[in-house]
Every structure is written in structure tokens, then in C-alpha cells.
Structure 1
Amino acid sequence: MTTSSSPTIDVPTTRALIANNPDVLIVDVRTPGEFETAHVPASINLPLDQVDAHLGRIVNDAGGRILLMCQSGGRATAACARLAGAGLTDATVITGGMNAWVAAGGPVERGRQRWSLERQVRLVAGGLVLLAVVASVWVPAARFVAGFIGAGLTFAALTDTCAMGAMLSRLPYNRGAGCDVDQSLARLRNERQQA
């Protein structure tokens, strides 16, 4: 979900823009594992959890227009807000993210298949609620765990943040082959120098 404060671009317009200007750079802010599973050809991976740590370098190296992508739009919107707050004015969120890209038939490079972070959150949250409900048969207080998970999911929806997703993104499963942030930033700088 994107907000009105973040500039957005839809997938068909993005594809036309790339076709007419191959120097447009897509920065994918998903986890390295998600990126390895499927990504837009020639995009770079700069996970959202690394954006704050390298904010100054990103703003300095991104001398032109960059398009931000994640799985559905939420993380890209968060990255866009952080970059705009640091002074980068030419970052745009691809509406619907990778989900919309794939649905529109955009070209995709695929690697080892992994579950998306959103699907992992649904599995863990649902599993914890189910476990708490079953356990409440013997330990009635266990129902409070289910309530806590429900409250957390409600808070995540209202704030468009997800503490569980942030924790899961740090698991080795989601690290994939890893993301070399320095290499991604160097590529960002090089793409801009050639433009």
C-alpha cells in the first residue's frame, strides 16, 4: 500500500519508461532471499533494513531517478519516505511492487524459490494463534497469546509496519546468498555516472 506522500508509478508506465530509457534504475528493497527468488532484470538489491545505515551514501550516489520496489509496496513506500527525508527528491515507488510486476507479465529473473516475507508472517502469526487456542484447552491463559498476536497484526495494519516481518527478515532463510550493500551502492553510483 502506498500513500499520497510518496510519488508512485504503475507497472505499465514503468515498463514503458525502462524501454525508452534503459538508464532508469530499479532498487529492490526486499530481503536478499526474496530478491534471489525473483527480481526485475538489472535491478539492484538494497534491503530496507540497510537503507537507514547507508542513507547518506544512497542520497549522494543516486544522482538521478530511481524506482523503488518491494513485494507489494509497503516497504518501498517506507524507503521512499526515508530517502525523501534525507534529501533525495527523485525516488518513486512502483505501485503494487513485485506482485503487480509479475501479474502484468513483466520480465523476471528467477533463482532459488522461497516464501515471501508476507507469507512467512501469515504462517507464523496463524501458527501462534492456532497453538495458543489449542493450548488454552489446558492452560486457559494461553488465549492471551492469541489476543496479543491479533493486537500486533492490527497495529501492523494501522501503521503499515510489521515487527514480526522485521524479525523474520533477519533469519538466515531470508538472507539468501546475501546482499553486498557496498556492491549495490557502487552500482548505484556507476549507473548514475553513466546516465
Structure 2
Amino acid sequence: MTARNTAPAIDVVDARALIANNPDTLIVDVRTPGEFETAHVPGSINLPLDQVDTHLGRIVEDAGGRMLLMCQSGGRATQACTRLAAAGLTGATVINGGMNAWIAAGGPVERGRQRWGLERQVRLVAGGIVLLSIVISSWLPEARFVAGFIGAGLTFAALTNTCAMGMLLARLPYNRGSGGDVDAALARLNAPGRRA
């Protein structure tokens, strides 16, 4: 049995109040640049989850003020928060429900070129592979093992709150978008007026 993650979290209503009352609060969006380009909270920065480990030391060293972590639904932000806390960063909090909850609560959003979210892409690819392997198994019975492998992978992803397929899809050019300037995002962590 896997231990439950206990990353500090805040709901959207409280997050919006915190941002309104504390202008040094920074929202760090850990989705892919493509997802960020599609819709993001005004003033937030994009630091994709796949870059957090690479820049962990700099993030911990440069982070000033209060940091709210956001992704599409909360899973990736929770992973980022756990990694940052393990590296010694305090003051990072996950926005419960991510962009899904933010939009549902009527939070302000800047929209750009529309793309499918990473979670939707994973469902399409995993479902497509399972469907294709079942169809092919009519001629090649061993193909059913591919469907079983994908099912096992999805089960493992749910139990560990990680997704190897999602991490691979995040690297595709489609998900990189026109943004993704990690250095600019990291520079904003230590912007004047953000030091606690």
C-alpha cells in the first residue's frame, strides 16, 4: 500500500483571497507549456513538472514569498510540492483541483491557442492502444498482452500518482507550445518584492 501524499493544499476560493491580499503570492503552473498556453491564471509562471527536478536547487534557493502550485487537476502540482518540500522549500501550497477547479469557480483565465490537456492525451493514447491491440488479437492472439500491459501501467500510475505515458507525451513538440522559457520563470521566483 502506498503512503498518501500530504502536500499542503488550498481551495480556489481561499487561493484567490490570498492572492488578492498578498501581491507577492506567485502561482507556479507545472503543466506543459502547451497546456499553459491554452489557459492559465493571469500573472502565473510556467515551470513544467519535468523541469522541477532539473532546477530543484535553484528553485529552493531563489523562491521568495508565497508560492501556489497548480496543474490541471492537482496531481502534478502535488508531485512538485512534495519534491520541493523534500529539498527544503517551505511555503509552497497546492491549489486543490488545479485549473479545472479554478475555471469552474469562475477564476480569471488568459486563453491562447487551444490544445488538448495532457490527461486527455493519455486517455486517447492508452484507449487507442488497448482498442487496437484487442482488434489485432483476432489475428494475432499475443496482441492482447499489449492491452494488459497498458492496463497494468494505468493501474501503477493511479497507485503511485505518476504517469510514464504522460511524462513521455509531455516531451512531444505539441505539448511544448511557444512558451516554456524556464529561465524566465525561474527569474520571476526571485523578483524584487517577492522575498519574504
TM-score range, shorter chain: over 0.9
Superposed CA deviations along residues 17-60 of structure 1, whole A, max 9, x for unmatched, are 11112221000000000000000000000000001111111111
Superposed CA deviations along residues 89-115 of structure 1, whole A, max 9, x for unmatched, are 110000000000001010000000000
CA offset at residue 194 of structure 1?
A: 6.5
Give structure 1 stretches of 5+ with no counterpart. none
CA offset at residue 189 of structure 1?
A: 0.8
1:46 maps to 2:68:
no
The corresponding residue for 2:152 is 151
Q: How does 1:65-144 map to 2 (within 5 A)?
A: 65-144=66-145
CA offset at residue 192 of structure 1?
A: 4.8
Structure 1 residue ranges, 4+ long, deviating more than 4 angstroms after superposition: 191-195
Equivalent position SS for 2:94: strand
Distance 1:4 1:162, change over 3 A: closer
Preserved CA contact (<8 Å) 2:24 2:65: no
Equivalent position SS for 2:178: coil
1:63 maps to 2:32:
no
C-alpha separation in 1, matches of 2:79 and 2:148: 27
CA offset at residue 178 of structure 1?
A: 3.2
The corresponding residue for 1:18 is 19
Equivalent position SS for 2:53: helix
The corresponding residue for 1:174 is 175
C-alpha separation in 2, matches of 1:145 and 1:69: 33
The corresponding residue for 1:189 is 190
CA offset at residue 191 of structure 1?
A: 5.0
C-alpha separation in 1, matches of 2:194 and 2:148: 52
TM-score by length of 1: 0.96
Distance 1:193 1:22, change over 3 A: closer
Superposed CA deviations along residues 157-195 of structure 1, whole A, max 9, x for unmatched, are 011100000000000000000311111111111155466
Equivalent position SS for 1:190: coil
Equivalent position SS for 2:64: coil
Residue type at the aligned position of 1:172: P
CA offset at residue 63 of structure 1?
A: 2.0
Equivalent position SS for 1:27: strand
1:28 maps to 2:15:
no
C-alpha separation in 1, matches of 2:83 and 2:193: 20
User: % of aligned pairs identical?
Assistant: 79
Give structure 2 stretches of 5+ with no counterpart. none
C-alpha separation in 2, matches of 1:144 and 1:127: 14
The corresponding residue for 1:8 is 9
C-alpha separation in 2, matches of 1:33 and 1:21: 28
